[in-house]
């Protein structure tokens, strides 16, 4: 991976689905959250390895079983570190990436952008929902089973005139329609 990072940016992007500069920025921003000290019994995984495993898992949709052979890290460790890295990314990026306007000036600016770009007066955002397919969680009955005949969780999102997320909610069971969110 180090050779790809230094010499072959296209292959690096193909491997992790992020550019080397983006990978470096993400790593720099979350290292303090995911770095651990080794013990006398085992050496701690480096943050660069943790981030790479998480990106490979989410970007390529590889299973933990496949990743354990790619990175020589046990499946149960991968299971824990994927969540750890995702939580660190959310904590670090949540305020800078998705900002919901709360004051009247910011809302007026969004209304003006919708009018200028889309000729839609008085629009404060475009709201829509999507059923995201999931595996049925144990002991949940039909809570996640939706009208489209698969298990899901509802993702609701509000975007501005330039397709930037203003608000996201991923908390409703799939058995509810996105209109109920």
Contact 125, 160 (CB under 8 A): yes
**Which tens digits make up the pLDDT trace of 107-124?**
999 999 999 999 999 999
Q: Is the pTM of this model over 0.85?
A: no
Report how far residue 78's alpha carbon sits from residue 76's, in angstroms, rounded to the nearest whole number.
Answer: 5
Neighbours of 108 (CB within 10 A): 12
Contact 48, 28 (CB under 8 A): no
- Residue 99: pLDDT over 90: no
**Which tens digits make up the pLDDT trace of 18-52?**
999 999 999 999 999 999 999 999 899 999 999 99
pLDDT of residue 24: 97
Contact 48, 16 (CB under 8 A): no
pLDDT of residue 101: 86
Contact 19, 9 (CB under 8 A): yes
Half-sphere exposure of 176 (CA within 13 A, CB side): 13
Cα dihedral value 70, 75, 80, 86, nearest 10: 30
Average pLDDT score over residue span 58-75: 90
Report how far residue 123's alpha carbon sits from residue 100's, in angstroms, rounded to the nearest whole number.
Answer: 15
pLDDT-based confidence at residue 53 (cuts at 50, 70, 90): very high
For residue 146, give both structure tokens. Answer: 């939706």
């Amino acid at each position: 991976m180090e050779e790809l990072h230094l010499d072959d940016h296209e292959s690096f992007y193909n491997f992790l689905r992020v550019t080397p500069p983006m990978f470096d920025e993400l790593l720099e921003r979350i290292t303090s959250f995911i770095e651990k000290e080794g013990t006398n019994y085992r050496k701690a995984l480096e943050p660069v390895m943790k981030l790479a495993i998480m990106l490979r898992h989410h970007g390529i949709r590889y299973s933990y079983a496949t990743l354990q052979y790619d990175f020589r890290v046990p499946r149960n460790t991968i299971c824990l570190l994927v969540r750890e890295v995702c939580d660190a990314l959310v904590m670090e990026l949540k305020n800078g990436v998705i900002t919901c306007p709360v004051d009247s000036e910011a809302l007026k600016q969004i209304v003006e952008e919708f009018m200028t770009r889309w000729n839609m007066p008085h629009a404060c955002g475009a709201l829509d929902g999507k059923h995201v397919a999931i595996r049925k969680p144990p002991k949940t009955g039909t809570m996640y089973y939706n009208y489209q005949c698969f298990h899901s969780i509802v993702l609701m999102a509000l975007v501005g005139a330039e397709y930037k997320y203003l608000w996201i909610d991923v908390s409703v069971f799939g058995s509810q329609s996105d209109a109920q969110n």
